[in-house]
């Protein structure tokens, strides 16, 4: 006998109540884990697969186990993180999929809470303008406008220019990837302001990390002062947090060059990210 509307409403209400009851009994963390496992069991949408084939050639480099892991992470990311279009941009499925795929490269092979501080991703149709206040050294503050392609805020937003997202996915070998850069900042910001030293899991790892990162950071500054060509862009020399984000871009996109020219830096990033992109090339 078919369900009446009243019976169906009661059934759905009972299921919702049961879900809330389980969440209360288990606690938020256990409930989240259970829900994510349910998401992992869902088939990966064919439309998403088609987008990745067309737009993200890096995916073909990954071994099959990492491809599967990346797709599962994407499913959770897209189920949990809202996207907002800015300046008239209408967010579509391709935009969401390409951001998620590039962001989730950073959490392969690692226990992850899926960028726990991230509350939303803001997408712009192009570079956008921000107003900044800067002192001139004499105590006088000046306002100036500057164009940006992306930002990561400790308050929980990642802001991205869609053309730069698309370009980062299209060329996996130029060492420039906006999504990797900004989501590296999100990892760095998990415990507060970005410092270039993300959470490493154990106190004993920080001494080696600081030694390598500080040494490479100052070496880069010296090379730039001498006018030498560098693998990492000059922006990496502005501060340690930017050094970590830029180095992350190069680690994933130009692993052979980094391993040859900056072996210690490559080793630290390989340990942190728990992957070896050199093996993918």
Identify the band that residue 143 occupies on the pLDDT scale cut at 50, 70 and 90: confident
- For the chain, the domains span 195-281
The first and second tokens of residue 278, run together, are: 């050199």
pLDDT one-digit tens code per residue, 39-78 = 989 999 999 999 999 999 999 999 999 999 999 999 999 9
Mean pLDDT, the chain, whole residue set:
89
Residue 36: pLDDT band (50, 70, 90) is confident
- Looking at residue 3, its pLDDT comes to 40
Q: Does residue 151 have a pLDDT over 70?
A: yes
Q: Which residue has the tokens 């897209």?
A: 78
Name which of 20-29, 45-54, 261-270 the model is least confident about.
20-29
Contact criterion met (CB below 8 Å) for 74 and 97: yes
**pLDDT confidence tier of residue 17, bands split at 50, 70 and 90:** low
Q: What is the pLDDT of residues 81-120, one digit of tens each?
A: 999 999 999 999 999 999 999 999 999 999 878 999 999 9
In this predicted structure, what is the pLDDT of residue 13? 52
On whether the CB atoms of residues 121 and 91 are closer than 8 A, the answer is: no
> pTM for the complete prediction?
0.86
Q: Does domain 195-281 have CATH number 3.40.390.10?
A: yes
Question: Rounded CA gap, 123 and 165, in Å?
Answer: 9
Residue 15: per-residue pLDDT: 52
């Amino acid at each position: 006998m078919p369900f009446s509307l009243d019976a169906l409403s009661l059934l759905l209400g009972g299921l919702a109540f049961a879900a809330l009851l389980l969440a209360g009994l288990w606690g938020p963390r256990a409930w989240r884990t259970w829900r994510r496992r349910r998401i992992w069991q869902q088939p990966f949408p064919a439309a998403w697969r088609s987008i990745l084939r067309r737009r993200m050639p890096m995916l073909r480099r990954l071994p099959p186990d990492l491809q599967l892991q990346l797709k599962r992470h994407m499913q959770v990311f897209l189920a949990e993180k809202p996207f907002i279009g800015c300046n008239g941009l209408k967010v579509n499925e391709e935009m969401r999929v390409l951001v998620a795929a590039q962001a989730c490269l950073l959490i392969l092979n690692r226990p992850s809470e899926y960028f726990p501080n991230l509350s939303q991703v803001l997408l712009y149709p192009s570079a956008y303008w921000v107003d900044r206040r800067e002192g001139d050294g004499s105590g006088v503050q000046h306002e100036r406008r500057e164009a940006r392609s992306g930002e990561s805020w400790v308050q929980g937003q990642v802001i991205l220019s869609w053309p730069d997202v698309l370009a980062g996915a299209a060329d996996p070998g130029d060492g420039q990837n906006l999504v990797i850069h900004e989501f590296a900042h999100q990892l760095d910001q998990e415990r507060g302001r970005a410092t270039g030293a993300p959470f490493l899991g154990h106190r004993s790892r920080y001494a080696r990390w600081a030694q390598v990162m500080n040494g490479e950071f100052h070496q880069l500054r010296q090379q730039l002062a001498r006018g030498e060509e560098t693998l990492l862009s000059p922006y990496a020399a502005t501060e340690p947090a930017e050094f970590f984000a830029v180095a992350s871009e190069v680690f994933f996109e130009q692993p052979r060059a980094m391993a040859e020219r900056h072996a210690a830096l490559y080793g630290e990033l390989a340990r942190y990210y728990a992957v070896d992109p050199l093996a993918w090339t």
